[in-house]
Amino acid sequence: MRKTMKLPLAALASLALVPATVTAHTVKAPYTATVTTTTYYSSGSFHGAVDVSSGSCDYWGVETGVVGSVSWNVSIRTTAHYCNSGNGSGNQNEALHTWADGWQFRIWHFNKTAASVDKTCDRCQVGDEGSTGNSTGAHTHMQQTKSGTYDTSWYSGYTTKGEAVDRTETLGVLD
């Protein structure tokens, strides 16, 4: 009996030596700010994303935050500058990357600048801090979804509401 167990255990142990083919991408803060919301709003309703705010509309340089050359589709739905409240759901400016497995990572609410164009980049600027779309004030919203399902695991254990962050700090990891 002992001899027959060695082979399956050896085979199982060898799997640990096979390198993973999944590449993780680190998400850094888009600018110096405070994390204002994560999984739940203060009201208790579900949010499912990370929001950060500097407290200053048009704060320079909202960066994509994702480290590792990623192709971004930047959609500009409004060219007006919104700072204190948005202009309605669906009108938010957006930087979007779709992964090969169908997951999508979005950055919303920035104001348009000359940097707001489609691009392939590593932590590139997409606009300035704003409040476009369904928003109550200037901030940057970062979320990962697939077919209507929100992924909160990418930031769980990395960041918390009220945390002060800068561009060097990790907000989460996308697998």
Owning domain of residue 76: 21-174
DSSP string, the chain: -HHHHHHHHHHHHHHTTSPP-PPPEEEE-SSSEEEEESSB-TTS-B--SEEEE-SSTT-S-EE--B-S-EEEEEE----S---SS-S-TT---EEEEE-TTS-EEEEE-PBP-TT-S-EEESS-EEEB-B--SS-SSSBEEEEEEETTEE--TTTTTT--TT-EE-TTSEEEEE-
In the structure, what pLDDT confidence band is assigned to residue 170 with cuts at 50, 70 and 90?
very high
Between 148 and 7, whose confidence is greater?
Answer: 148
Q: How many structural domains comprise the chain?
A: 1
pLDDT in tens, 62-81: 998 888 878 888 999 999 89
In the structure, what pLDDT confidence band is assigned to residue 122 with cuts at 50, 70 and 90?
confident
Residue 80 maps to a domain: yes
> Could you tell me the two tokens for 110?
């920035």
Residue 143 maps to a domain: yes
Mean pLDDT of 134-139: 92
Residue 11 maps to a domain: no
Mean pLDDT of 97-112: 93
Please give the pLDDT value at position 23.
73
Residue 147 maps to a domain: yes
pLDDT in tens, 16-26: 444 444 578 89
Mean pLDDT of 128-141: 93
Q: What is the CATH number of the domain that holds 114?
A: 2.70.70
- Residue 53 Cα distances to 22, 44, 77, 125, 139, angstroms: 31, 20, 21, 16, 4
In the structure, what pLDDT confidence band is assigned to residue 109 with cuts at 50, 70 and 90?
very high
For 98, how many CA atoms within 13 A lie in the half-sphere containing its CB? 6
Q: What is the pTM of this model?
A: 0.84
Residue 2 maps to a domain: no
Please give the pLDDT value at position 13.
45
pLDDT in tens, 32-65: 999 999 999 999 999 999 999 999 999 888 998 8
Please give the pLDDT value at position 162.
97
Mean pLDDT in the chain? 86
Residue 6 maps to a domain: no
